[in-house]
């Protein structure tokens, strides 16, 4: 019997409310269920249509890694909330994540370089190193609390291993890998040390940097000061060599400025010297800290030496390209004096008032007029009157052509470490290495 006849039997012909209730299921509930099922079906078809395209896009991304790295890339596609070393602050990039660092990944947060970088993996494995020995520490600014340094061989070349201690906490691990990402993201430059690899998949975490034979420039200048025999030609610092090496540092500084990076740590302690006396600018820790904690100068202020800082920085204003140029002028002073500290007669706390009275760096005895003119143009009180790094390169190259390349520079006084510490403004002696 049909539903209509059933309703007619149960309800009186003039009982409209009863008839509506009897037909409620057929007229209202069933159509609503059919509409809901139709919407679910359409949604399922849409997902099936668009999801394969997204999956295919992930799989067909540029494959510059090895086969093992490709497996990590597939795992990353399933864990898109974590980006390995580029994980957002507050997340531990090492937790449940095994992603090797590569140039391709770190380029995402850095302005493109003038020339395209090869998309090659920088990931290394512990078995890639041989003849690993602890690197003897030399004088410098501050001890490395979380990093050990080793000398090793990799691919038939000498390298320095910057190894994070296994006692490091999660924040220190993230900072270590973040710094590696920052250095790799800067891209190659002939006068920046080459980052040859990173061990980021398993502890101990490492940065692999090319070894430069003479290490930091400050120690090299001191060795030149001690070598009065004249037999070691590599320690003959002439004025011509000062112009040449300073031009290389200025080139690296100009490159960093073009990438929107303020070094804020320029000095002889932050320059590395190769066996062929090529100078390469390093000491990028404060630059990374300023990039990471923008607007928080207190995070890195204690890593900088006041006697190398521009007066506006001493007065509490932010570092800038011009303040880097001021520090570069102090570097020139260090080079021509074979490692003398600047403003040796002053306490660090007296320097700002001294400069406010119109005083400036005195001319060293062995410094030519042309070199001293560049020092003064770098260390001008007004930041707007200082030469930009791009113009410094031309001035230094022009000065190199006419500079004395025969007479080695000599320091009148022997090296006295305790005196240097006092005159440079150090509170105490630190064991450290630039790397």
pLDDT in tens, 204-252: 899 999 999 999 999 999 999 876 555 456 678 999 999 999 999 999 9
Residue 110 per-residue DSSP state: S
pLDDT given for residue 142 in this prediction: 52
Contact 139, 429 (CB under 8 A): yes
Highest mean pLDDT among 7-11, 26-30, 159-163 belongs to 159-163
> What's the rounded Cα separation, in Å, for the pair 77 and 81?
9
Highest mean pLDDT among 13-27, 117-131, 263-277 belongs to 263-277
Place of tokens 């140029």: 325
- CATH tag for 215-432 (out of 2.40.240.10, 3.40.605.10, 1.10.10.10, 1.10.510.10): 1.10.510.10
Asked if residue 77 has pLDDT above 70, the reply is: no
Tokens of 193: 């040390």
> What's the rounded Cα separation, in Å, for the pair 238 and 112?
38
The whole-number average pLDDT for the span 137-143 is 54
How far is residue 367 from each of residues 21, 311, 332, 411, measured CA to CA in Å?
107, 23, 10, 12
Choice among 230-234, 326-330, 354-358, 410-414 with the minimum mean pLDDT: 230-234
The residues spanned by each domain of the chain are 3-48, 67-99, 126-210, 215-432
pLDDT given for residue 138 in this prediction: 63
Asked if residue 55 has pLDDT above 90, the reply is: no
Percent of the chain, pLDDT > 90?
Answer: 46
Percent of the chain, pLDDT > 70?
Answer: 69
pLDDT given for residue 236 in this prediction: 84
Tokens of 325: 């140029």
pLDDT given for residue 261 in this prediction: 94
pLDDT in tens, 158-204: 999 999 998 899 999 999 999 999 999 999 999 999 999 998 888 88
Q: How confident is the model at residue 291 (pLDDT cuts 50, 70, 90)?
A: confident
The whole-number average pLDDT for the span 370-399 is 96
Asked if residue 19 has pLDDT above 90, the reply is: no
How far is residue 84 from each of residues 95, 121, 153, measured CA to CA in Å?
9, 14, 28
Asked if residue 111 has pLDDT above 70, the reply is: no
The whole-number average pLDDT for the span 272-281 is 95
Q: How confident is the model at residue 127 (pLDDT cuts 50, 70, 90)?
A: confident
Buried b (16+ CB within 10 A) or exposed e, 342-376: bbeebebeebbeebeeeeebebbebbbebbbebbe
What is the three-class DSSP state of 66? Answer: coil
> What's the rounded Cα separation, in Å, for the pair 94 and 105?
16
pLDDT given for residue 58 in this prediction: 41
Q: How confident is the model at residue 323 (pLDDT cuts 50, 70, 90)?
A: very high
What is the three-class DSSP state of 303? Answer: coil
Model's pTM, two decimal places? 0.70
Asked if residue 92 has pLDDT above 50, the reply is: no
Q: How confident is the model at residue 321 (pLDDT cuts 50, 70, 90)?
A: very high
The whole-number average pLDDT for the span 135-158 is 76
pLDDT given for residue 143 in this prediction: 54
Average pLDDT, the chain: 77
CATH, domain range 126-210? 3.30.200.20
Q: How confident is the model at residue 302 (pLDDT cuts 50, 70, 90)?
A: very low
pLDDT given for residue 315 in this prediction: 92
> What's the rounded Cα separation, in Å, for the pair 314 and 346?
14
pLDDT given for residue 47 in this prediction: 78
* Half-sphere exposure for 434 (CA within 13 Å, toward CB): 26
Contact 317, 362 (CB under 8 A): no
């Amino acid at each position: 019997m049909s539903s209509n006849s059933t309703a007619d039997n149960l309800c009186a012909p003039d009982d409209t409310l009863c008839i509506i209730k009897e037909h409620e299921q057929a007229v209202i509930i069933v159509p609503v269920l059919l509409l809901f099922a139709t919407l679910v079906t359409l949604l399922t078809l849409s997902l099936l249509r668009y999801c394969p395209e997204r999956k295919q896009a992930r799989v067909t991304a540029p494959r510059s890694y090895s086969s093992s790295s490709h497996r990590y890339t597939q795992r990353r596609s399933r864990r898109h909330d974590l980006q390995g070393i580029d994980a957002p602050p507050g997340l531990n990039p090492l937790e449940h994540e095994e992603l090797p660092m590569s140039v391709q990944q770190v380029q995402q947060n850095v302005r493109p370089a003038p020339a395209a970088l090869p998309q090659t993996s920088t990931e290394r494995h512990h078995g890639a190193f041989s003849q690993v020995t602890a690197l003897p520490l030399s004088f410098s600014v501050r001890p490395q609390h979380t990093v050990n340094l080793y000398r090793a061989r990799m691919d038939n070349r000498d390298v320095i291993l910057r190894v994070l201690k296994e006692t490091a906490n999660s924040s220190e691990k993230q900072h270590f890998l973040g710094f590696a990402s920052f250095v790799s993201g800067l891209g190659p430059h002939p006068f920046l040390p080459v980052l040859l690899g990173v061990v980021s998949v398993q502890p101990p975490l490492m940065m692999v940097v090319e070894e430069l034979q003479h290490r930091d420039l400050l120690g090299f200048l001191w060795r030149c000061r001690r070598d009065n025999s004249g037999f070691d030609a590599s320690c003959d610092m002439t004025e011509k060599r000062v112009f040449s090496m300073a031009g290389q540092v200025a080139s690296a500084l100009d490159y960093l400025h073009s990438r929107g990076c303020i070094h804020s740590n320029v000095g002889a302690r932050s320059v590395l010297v190769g066996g062929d006396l090529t100078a390469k600018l390093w000491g990028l820790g404060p630059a990374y800290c300023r990039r990471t904690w923008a607007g928080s100068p207190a995070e890195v202020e204690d890593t900088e030496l006041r006697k190398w800082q521009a007066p506006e920085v001493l007065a509490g204003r932010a570092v800038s390209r011009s303040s880097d140029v001021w520090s570069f002028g102090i570097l020139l002073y260090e080079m021509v004096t074979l490692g003398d500290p600047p403003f040796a007669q002053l306490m660090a706390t007296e320097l700002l008032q001294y400069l406010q009275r119109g005083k400036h760096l005195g001319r060293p005895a062995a410094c030519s007029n042309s070199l001293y003119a560049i020092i003064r143009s770098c260390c001008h009180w007004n930041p707007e009157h200082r030469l930009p790094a791009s113009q410094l390169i031309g001035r230094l190259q022009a000065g190199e052509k006419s500079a004395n390349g025969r007479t080695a520079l000599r320091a009148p006084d022997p090296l006295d470490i305790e005196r240097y510490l006092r005159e440079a403004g150090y509170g105490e002696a630190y064991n450290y290495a630039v790397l």
